[in-house]
Structure 1
Amino acid sequence: MIQKWSQAHGYDMTIYHPYYSGQLPQASDVDLLVILGGPMSPNDSLPWITAERTLIATLLERHTPIFGACFGAQQIAKTLGYAVTKAPAKEVGWAPVYRQSDVISGLPETVMALHWHEEMFEVPAAATLLFSSEHVRPQGFVMDHRVVGLQFHIEPLADNVREMVANDAAYVTGSVLDQSPADILHRPVPTANEAVTYRLLDYICEGSRQP
């Protein structure tokens, strides 16, 4: 959905895979940074993970919009000096998150999100808690009108969900949500998630130069 949002606005988007190539964009080339998820942890000792936090720190100083999902949100929090720790429950599958703040207008009270994590971030002191779930309180934050971090996923389209299940189905084991890979696949992607994704990206880019 992030790619659809970018195309709808006529923006150029470059996708990096630093876990394969070690490559990251130069800060001077970034108008909006999006960091998504993966099987790695911000606590892993990998050079590209450290380098990515250096990039995040530079962009935070420049007030460049940043959107992080799952690992991406954890990276933002860790860059700011906050902990990424084991969550009280492993969440894998579809489950609702509940809005905790009205700082971003136009967001629904409840969002049906795709969860794929067992770690969580500590919400930075300068940020506002944006979403919580039944099992894990820190599910999203917003900071400085420029940064949004989400522990869950609202950005995947149906093909992306199939890709996640096809490559990581075994990860559902031990999830408090008690959903099988088939359960996850058979649940349609909520149509509302596109509007939520668009609203969050529009919000952090308000007043910025075009990505």
Structure 2
Amino acid sequence: MRVNILQHTPNEGPGAIGAWVKERGHKLYIYHPEAFGILPKASETDLLVVLGGPMSPGDDLAWLPQERELIADCLKSHIPILGICLGAQQIAMALGASVHRAPHKEVGWAPVYRQSDALPGLPEKLLALHWHQDMFELPEGSHLLYSSDLLDNQGFLVNGNVVGLQFHLEQQEDNVREIVINDGAYAEEGNDLHQSPAEILEQEVPAANKQAIYTILDYLSVH
């Protein structure tokens, strides 16, 4: 299986997703559309992963609508997709749902609570890393997967093989350090989770997060 990953910023890499690809014997291809303007084709994609980033889907960047066109092509071909943070927002927009400023800015660690059994094997509660200020509305026909205390729409499953997550399960301890040392100031400006960069780093990454992202990827790889 060829797993194409779209990485939008240097400090938000695939983390545990890359480990899953290697452990399952698949082939990993990482694209950097913000840096190089290159995207794969749907015809050369078996699983598409769209990562997060500091951009908003409505920003005036040529590659953002091009990326949504790729997502739409994958949807038409029933190619499985996982979107995280910005990636989930891009999927929602490609499906006709709106993306806008969330009522609360969430930066740091906070629990999310499962709202549906549509994707089997996911835990009822996870302590996830949040790094966002925008949010998606649910695409038509989707199942709400997770909510947090501050934001209802934290994850969805649509078309049986497309998952969007507003929060991060893929980031392991070294990945969290990379995010915080480079973008820690984002946590200090109007953060409704009220966590400093130091407090974010103090939290140990729960082992359940890696297990959950593996569960999602295993599901997508056969649907």
Give the TM-score of the pair, scaled to structure 1: 0.97
CA drift at 1:21: 0.5
> How many residues get paired?
207
Question: For residues 183-208 of structure 1, what are the alpha-carbon distances to aligned partners after superposition, in whole Å with 9 as ceiling and x for unaligned?
Answer: 0111011011111000011111214x
Q: Residue 203 of structure 2 is aligned with which of 179, 187, 191?
A: 187
Q: Does the Cα contact within 8 Å between 1:97 and 1:133 map onto a contact in 2?
A: yes
The equivalent position to 1:21 in structure 2, one of 10, 31, 36, is 36
Aligned residue in 1 for 2:192: 176
Aligned-pair distance for 1:125?
1.4
Residue 144 of structure 1 corresponds to 159
2:135 corresponds to which of 120, 134, 139: 120
Q: What is the SS of the residue equivalent to 1:132?
A: strand
Conserved? CA contact 1:145–1:203, under 8 Å: no
Counterpart selection for 2:83 from 68, 74, 87: 68
- Distance in 1 between the 2:109 and 2:99 partners? 22
Q: Where does the alignment leave 5 or more consecutive residues of structure 1 unmatched? A: none
Assess if the C-alpha contact under 8 Å between 1:154 and 1:197 holds in 2: yes
**Structure 1 outlier segments of 4+, above 2 Å:** none
Mapped to 1, the partners of 2:218 and 2:100 lie a distance apart of: 30
In structure 2, C-alpha distance between the alignment counterparts of 1:29 and 1:149, rounded to whole Å: 21
Q: Does residue 1:206 correspond to 2:222, yes or no?
A: yes
Scaled by the length of structure 2, the TM-score of the pair is 0.91
Structure 2 stretches lacking a partner, 5+ long = 1-15
| Counterpart for residue 106 of structure 1 | 121
Q: Which residue of 1 aligns with 2:7?
A: none
Q: SS where residue 13 of structure 1 aligns?
A: strand
The percent identity for this pair of structures is 56
Is 1:55 matched up with 2:52?
no
Structure 2 CA distance, aligned partners of 1:76 and 1:103? 18
Q: Residue 32 of structure 1 aligns with which residue? A: 47
> Once the two structures are superposed, what CA deviation does each residue of 1:41-86 show, in whole Å capped at 9, x if it has no partner?
1011211001000000000000000000000000000011111011
